[in-house]
Each structure stands twice: as C-alpha cells, then as structure tokens.
Amino acid sequence: MTEPRFLVVRLGSLGDIVHTFPAVAGLRESFPNAEIVWLTHPRWKLLVESSELATETWETETRSYASVRQIIRRIRKKHFTTAIDYQGLWKSAALPFFGGVSRRIGFSSQTIREFGVPLLYTNPVRSTQTHIADQNGELSQCAGARNGVAPVALAVPSIQEAFVMQLLRSFAFERYVVLSPAGGWRSKCWPADRYGALCQKIRAILGLRCVLNYGPGEEDLISELKAASGEADPIAYNGSLDQLMALLRNAICVVGGDTGPLHMAVALGTPAVALFGPTDPARNGPYRLENRSGNASPIDIVLRSPRAITTYKRGRAAAPSILEIDVDTVFEAVRRQVELRQ
C-alpha cells in the first residue's frame, strides 16, 4: 500500500505552532513512513524543524505575491494525497486549494473566525474538544491518525545551550527564573510594575535572578520592568529562537501570560506559572499530554481571577481580570515551583 503524502499548513505564530505539534505527532505516530511536508513562515522554520516531525519544511511569505506563486507551483508538483490546514485562515486554506490538493481538511465554520474559509475544504471538521491542541488533533484523526495527539520532544542545538549557559555564568548565576512579560496585545499582559515587584521578591526571598525575555518593539516594556525591579537587577534577553529555546529549557520555571514563549517552555518540559485574563486557559493554557489523564500531578500553575470573562478582546491596556492577580499570589506560585526543584 502506498504511503500517504501530507501537506501540513501552519504558518505561525510561535504559540500556535507549539499547539500544533501534538497533532502532527499523532499523524507521524500513525504514519511513520509517510512524507509530511510542513508549510510555515520563514521566521518559524527552525521551530518546526526542532520537532523533527516533518520530512521537509517549506517556507512562504503570504504578503509576497512571488512567494505565494512559487509555493503554489511547488505544491502542484508534489501531488499531495491530503492537506491539513491547522490555521483556518483564508491565506492558509487557499494554498492547498490553488495547489490542487484533492483532499483538504480544516475546521468548520463553528470553529474558525474568518467567514467562508471552510468553502475551500473538502473535509470541514466541527470540533468537539476544548483545548486548541486537541482540536488540532481532531483534524489529524480526520486524516486517518489513530490518536489525534502524541508526545513531542523538541531538539535544542547543544551549541546554543552551551552558549546560553556560558552567558549566564558571565553574570555569576546558573539557576534562574524566566519572565515573559509581553504578549502581542496588552490586554492579556500582566503589568510591568508588577513583574518588577515580583523580581524583587524572587531575588530577596529566594535568592534567584530573573531573566526577562523580550522581542522586537518591546524595549519600552522591558525598560519599565527593569526600573520597577530596583536592586533585583534582572537580565534582559532577546537572542535568537534557538537560544531562547535553550534559555527556557534550563530555567527553573517560566512566568508569563498566554504567550508563545510560555507555551514553548511548556513544550520543552519547563514548569510554568501562567497568568490568564481575557483568554481561556481551558482552550489556550499550558498543554501537557501527561496531565490529560488526570493521574499525574500538574506541573504547571495557572492563575486566573474567578471573575474573569473570556473575551479574546485585543486592547492596549491590561484587562481588569488580569489586574486582579496580585504579586504575592504569583510569588507564592513561583516559590512552589522552586521548592519542588531544590
């Protein structure tokens, strides 16, 4: 019997790709010899390759007509058996459609936010699961996977681990807590001054330094956080993606909101203290297969106000619900994670 040839489409972003890994692992588990080509944005090629799930990783920039035209031609030449669009947007669904893939799987209109996209699928799937990773798994099952999701182990280049650890030793510490204060839209982010107060307590009481992960355009936020940290003197860090992976994997724990770095830390096995406001942790929270059965002790601590309302509303100011999470509560969660790993 001829092995199927899959085109997996998940263009971005960081956290969404991480939540797609278990579903593609489910596909790989059921079809170990199948050809799986993952189509993504150039920025995330290294991340996709770290999962070692795809036979090949292709790149495309959907804002470039030349890039889109080239990738559609490439898809046509490959003669894929099935395409799975885990993203659910016009720009992702259109690629296998115009690429001539005969069987195209994606989410139904009850799941995705862009109107009309399921018209481009031959097999629209209505999700019954809650977490987005499990919803992605339903697409894999539609493609023939026995289990929708399966374990994933991300590979971190040893040279980058050595570089990051040497960098931290130059600051005279090796044990640290990573804070990831940004998150795309400010309404789901805990305020910088509270992260600064948390840094002070972690340094004064636990004797640990904090490393602040940030990306382009987030310099002002980090400056505000460092100013609020006083003598705690956290280290600001914005290295490459593979260096970030090394930093997260070797941390005692990571503290952050519903952000890509927090989800990547969880995928790397690092305990998390996750701060949630307008987004629902049942759908977008830390995801570990070992905790789904209910038999294992949760590795991660999720903090959210009982009065929080799920809106997914993008705003420029912190949502009222995330402001209800106080510094002492977050610190105690960090203390628990640190004491478990003494």
Q: Which two tokens stand for residue 223?
A: 């400056």
What is the C-alpha end-to-end distance of the chain, expressed in Å? 53
Q: Over the stretch 4-32, which tens digit does the pLDDT of each residue have?
A: 999 999 998 999 999 999 999 999 999 99
Bridge partners of 272, per DSSP, are: 254
Bridge partners of 274, per DSSP, are: 256, 302
Q: Which two tokens stand for residue 310?
A: 């799920």
Peptide bond into 13 cis (omega under 30): yes
CA-nearest of 103, 104, 102 to 93 is: 104
Q: Over the stretch 238-261, which tens digit does the pLDDT of each residue have?
A: 989 999 999 999 999 999 999 999
Q: Are 23 and 148 in contact (CB under 8 A)?
A: yes
| pLDDT for position 181 | 95
Give Cα 174 to chain centroid, integer Å.
25
pLDDT tens series, the chain, 342 aa: 578 999 999 998 999 999 999 999 999 999 999 999 999 999 999 999 999 999 999 999 999 999 999 999 999 999 999 999 999 999 999 999 999 999 999 999 988 889 999 999 999 999 999 999 999 999 999 999 999 999 999 999 888 888 888 888 888 888 999 999 987 778 899 999 999 999 999 999 999 999 999 988 899 999 999 999 999 999 999 989 999 999 999 999 999 999 999 999 999 999 999 999 999 999 999 999 876 654 445 799 999 999 999 988 888 788 899 999 999 999 999 999 999 887
| pLDDT for position 264 | 96
| pLDDT for position 296 | 47
| pLDDT for position 183 | 77
Phi and psi angles of residue 337, each rounded to the nearest 5 degrees, phi first: -65, -40
CA-nearest of 237, 189, 241 to 14 is: 241
Helix axes 260-267, 241-249, angle to 10 degrees: 60
| pLDDT for position 289 | 85
Integer angstrom CA distances of residue 304 from 97, 269, 275, 325: 40, 22, 6, 7
Which residue type does 151 have?
P
| pLDDT for position 211 | 96
E strand or H helix at 236: strand 235-237
20-30: b or e for each residue (b if 16 or more CB lie within 10 Å)?
bbbbbbbbbbb
